[in-house]
A and B are shown apart, each in its own frame.
Chain A
Amino acid sequence: MTSTSTTRGARDHARAQAAAADERFSRRVPAGGPDVLWHETVEGGNYAVRRLPRGARLNLRDPDGDTSVQLLVFNAEAPAERLNVADTVKVQWQAYLGAGQLLLSDMGRVLMSFESDTSAGHDTFCAMSNRAWNDAKYGDGAAHGDAPNARDRFAVALAKAGLDRRDIGPSVNLFKSVVVEPDGSFSWRGDGAPAGAEVVLRADMDVLVALTVTPHVLDPRTDYIVTPLEIEAVRGEPASNDDAIRTATPESIRAFENTDDWLLR
């Protein structure tokens, strides 16, 4: 007779598992007090989805120096409003994201802003892998295969927030960067990122954040290599009227004005 042949045995077996688990990947009630909103480590190939209140600081850390994150952001109250990568780069006249920059919605508002950034750079061009890409590159790109593709992971993540595949628009890539050469070609700059790099994003409205931790599509390595992402979100103050990011450019001033307008109740 196995230990799980009875209800009582199955229950004890189930309950014993948490104690034996790798704590790193165990979601738990944050120990940091009421201001800690989210604490989770996402292993390579996996996803996370979370609602964060305005003012929250989302700390995304690359403890081992080889994580790769695809990020989508939605207005939590009205998710038809979402990250618009084209507007994000066009309005800011800049394709390379970093400290001080905004993630803009398709409604001319600020979803989140980059409060600080110790990474080696990000990417706004290449978005995410899909099944066909990962099948061709790694052999089995199925959502629960050996090399999960980002798009199918997002489909599941977003379904848990009531959204679906229609809602998977272009993402930004964090912690892996590419640059555009004068002839328009991409050059990979994703190697040699510093271990321990951290990006702090401020939520400038209530947001729904969805992310996958999968290799960047242009990662030249033929093995599926991506190290975990450490997430910690804490409650915080929204941007003040003299906030340095808000007041940095005419475009950012108006983006925050539009956001303030949305927040009128």
Chain B
Amino acid sequence: MTSDGTPADTVVADEVVAARQPWSHLVRAGEVLTIIDLEGNQAVDFLVYCADDPIERYSAADTMTGQGNVYLTTGTILRSNEGRAMMTIVDSTVERHDTVGGACSRESNSLRYGHHTNHQHACVDNFLQALGPLGMGKRDMVSNINFFMNVPVEADGSLGIVDGISAAGLSVDLRAETDVIVVVSNCPQINNPCNGFAPTPVRMIVTDPS
């Protein structure tokens, strides 16, 4: 119980992910993962896999078609490639999040910013580092979510990562609808505004409301 007598959610995990680092966690059905953008406009690249069979995994397409909209916000159900609800965004203090822009990689950075960026730290390397111990690898990577990242799609199809709409302390709450493995890259990108050109830490809190 908290001091005012309301039941306190049990905190299962409370960790700060340093700038540029990967993170993964098993979130059990019913638990809520809160991601806090500690310093503002820090992209959190996010993949999620069904714990009982990771071949069933996040699908950006199923998530977007399931709600008829490209933007992720409060009420969005994160769907698997089999159409199943994996997590629900139960609250978001940022207006919307992206699932179109994918993860940065050394290789795509070389196209976007020049070959000199091929040796910079990028999200795909973080994902591969985190997936390895889980028995997964490159074939298991799919289009991800970018929490706190702003990718407008314009009328003529133009799209791109533009200045963020997040701020210090804003957050997103995700309730697991089944046991899931969350894999995150706290984005190391320094060549576009997704991190305000300066990667910063984020905080991950898993609570059990039951």
List residues of chain B with CB within 8 A of the CB of A91. Answer: 108, 111-112
Complex CA–CA separation, A87 to B142 (angstroms): 11
Chain B stretch 93-122: residues in CB contact (< 8 A) with chain A: 96, 100-103, 105-108, 110-112, 114-115
State whether A108 touches B65 (Cβ < 8 A). Answer: no
Q: Is B175 an interface residue (CB 8 A)?
A: no
State whether B115 touches A254 (Cβ < 8 A). Answer: yes
Interface size class of B (residues with CB under 8 A): 35 or more
List residues of chain B with CB within 8 A of the CB of A90. Answer: 100-102, 108, 112, 151, 159-161
List residues of chain A with CB within 8 A of the CB of B65. Answer: 125-127, 186, 217-218
State whether B62 touches A165 (Cβ < 8 A). Answer: no
The stretch that binds B, out of A38-46, A111-119, A176-184, is A176-184
Q: Which of B69, B71, B112 has the most CB of A within 10 A?
A: B112
Q: Is A132 an interface residue (CB 8 A)?
A: yes
Asked whether A258 and B110 contact (CB < 8 A) given A90-B160, A218-B65, the answer is: yes
Complex CA–CA separation, A125 to B140 (angstroms): 19
Complex CA–CA separation, A170 to B157 (angstroms): 18
State whether A254 touches B114 (Cβ < 8 A). Answer: yes
State whether B140 touches A166 (Cβ < 8 A). Answer: yes
State whether A130 touches B105 (Cβ < 8 A). Answer: no
Q: Is B132 an interface residue (CB 8 A)?
A: no
State whether A86 touches B101 (Cβ < 8 A). Answer: yes
Contact with A along B131-142 (1 / 0, CB 8 A): 000000111111
List residues of chain A with CB within 8 A of the CB of B2. Answer: none
Q: Is A64 an interface residue (CB 8 A)?
A: no
Asked whether A108 and B153 contact (CB < 8 A) given A80-B139, A85-B143, A151-B81, the answer is: no
Contact with B along A180-199 (1 / 0, CB 8 A): 10111110000000000000
**What's the least CB distance linking A265 to chain B, in Å?**
20
List residues of chain B with CB within 8 A of the CB of A86. Answer: 60, 100-103, 143-144
Complex CA–CA separation, A155 to B96 (angstroms): 33
Contact with A along B14-40 (1 / 0, CB 8 A): 000000000000000000000000000
Q: Is B193 an interface residue (CB 8 A)?
A: no
State whether A87 touches B102 (Cβ < 8 A). Answer: yes
The stretch that binds B, out of A10-18, A48-56, A92-100, A236-244, is A92-100
List residues of chain B with CB within 8 A of the CB of A133. Answer: 62, 83
Q: Is A106 an interface residue (CB 8 A)?
A: yes
Contact with B along A58-95 (1 / 0, CB 8 A): 00000000000000000000001000111101110111
**What's the least CB distance linking A106 to chain B, in Å?**
7
State whether B159 touches A108 (Cβ < 8 A). Answer: no
State whether A170 touches B105 (Cβ < 8 A). Answer: no
Residues of A within 8 A of B (CB): 80, 84-87, 89-91, 93-96, 104, 106-109, 125-128, 130-133, 151, 165-170, 179-180, 182-186, 217-218, 251, 254-255, 257-258
Q: 7 closest Cβ contacts across the A-B interface?
A: A86-B102, A108-B107, A127-B61, A96-B157, A132-B83, A184-B71, A180-B153
Given A180-B70, A184-B69, A251-B111, 18 more pairs with CB closer than 8 A:
A84-B102, A84-B143, A87-B108, A91-B112, A95-B157, A104-B108, A106-B105, A106-B124, A108-B106, A108-B107, A108-B111, A127-B61, A132-B82, A132-B84, A133-B83, A170-B61, A217-B65, A254-B111
User: Would you list 6 pairs from A and B whose C-beta atoms are within 8 A, ordered by A residue?
Assistant: A127-B59, A128-B61, A132-B84, A165-B55, A185-B68, A257-B115
